[in-house]
Amino acid sequence: MTNIFEKIDDVKKEKITKVTIARQAASCVAMHAKFYKSNVSNDFKGNKFFAITENTVEFESCKNVVTRNYGEDTSRLHIIDLEKYDYDKSVIVYSKSSKYIKIINPDMKSFLQYSLKTGAYTHENKIDFDDKILNAYQEMTNTETETFFHFYEKRTEHVIRITLLKKGQVVENLRVNVGYLTVIHTLKECDFKKAQSRERMADRLSYNHPVISPKANVRIEAVCVFNEAEPMNRTLIDMLQI
């Protein structure tokens, strides 16, 4: 029977392999790409490559690197040939969108709790903590504050939207996340745009709650949401106000 540690090793191995394949595939189109962006840029963190190319030979070489290793599995490796569609113009829009994911990792929660309790953080938005809540929180024991805040970490998605037009009419809409690799091949007129970064409308957590970055790791940005659902939290605040 495969144990959990073997499964973790398999996941790590596949991730490393896909990153390596993405880098090799991207190198096939890097020199003559109409547009090329890699993890060397400030926009991408981690292993990401995005390219638009008119060079069919280089595109096929890129495609072969991916299919030779993964066949038709395009998870996080997107090789998109627009020439299989009936169109006369494409509009390709690259944008970054932010979303906040609830933190369930105990170590990360403890790290944020400690940063908040000790004041070792910077404030990233204009929403202030309620003074009574924050003061009470910093006076409580770790056990008392375990469920005092919910934390949500900011994640950034790099999104590519492709609109195909024929005689001015939309014939196809495509959308992918960049993942490790996204390479687009087109021989026709291509209008490439960059859209402003935005936060998903469905979240809006950072519009209504304080956002902090721990001084010990400024790359982390987390929303702090007071847990109103736990009655004891309000009781503790009231007790400390007496």
Render pLDDT for 178-207 as a digit per residue (tens, 0 to 9): 989 999 999 999 999 988 766 654 457 888
Alpha-carbon distance of 2 to 7, in angstroms, equals 7
* Any domain includes 170: no
Alpha-carbon distance of 105 to 86, in angstroms, equals 47
Alpha-carbon distance of 178 to 22, in angstroms, equals 11
- 3-state class of 163 per DSSP? strand
Is 109 in the same domain as 218? yes
Is 123 in the same domain as 232? yes
Which pLDDT belongs to residue 43? Answer: 63
Is 108 in the same domain as 149? yes
In a 13 Å sphere around the CA of 219, the CA atoms on its Cβ side amount to 3
Is there a contact between 67 and 169 (Cβ–Cβ < 8 Å)? no
Q: How many CB atoms lie within 10 A of CB 31?
A: 10
Domain coverage including residue 22: 4-87+177-196
Average model confidence (pLDDT) across the chain: 85
Maximal CA-CA distance, the chain: 76
Alpha-carbon distance of 120 to 100, in angstroms, equals 21
Is 81 in the same domain as 61? yes
Closest CA to 48 of 132, 184, 157: 157
Q: Are strands 222-226 and 121-123 parallel, antiparallel or unpaired?
A: unpaired
Instruction: Categorize the per-residue pLDDT at 10 as very low, low, confident or very high, splitting at 50, 70 and 90.
Output: low
* Any domain includes 167: no
Percent of the chain clearing pLDDT 90 (strictly above) = 53
Is 21 in the same domain as 136? no
Tell me the two tokens of residue 44.
């991408």
Is 78 in the same domain as 24? yes
Percent of the chain clearing pLDDT 70 (strictly above) = 85
**What predicted TM-score, i.e. pTM, was given to this entire model?**
0.71
- 3-state class of 153 per DSSP? strand
Is 27 in the same domain as 75? yes
Alpha-carbon distance of 38 to 98, in angstroms, equals 19
Alpha-carbon distance of 88 to 76, in angstroms, equals 28
pLDDT tens-place string over residues 38-65: 875 656 666 889 999 999 999 999 999 9
Q: Are strands 169-177 and 35-38 parallel, antiparallel or unpaired?
A: unpaired
Q: Higher-confidence residue: 87 or 235?
A: 87
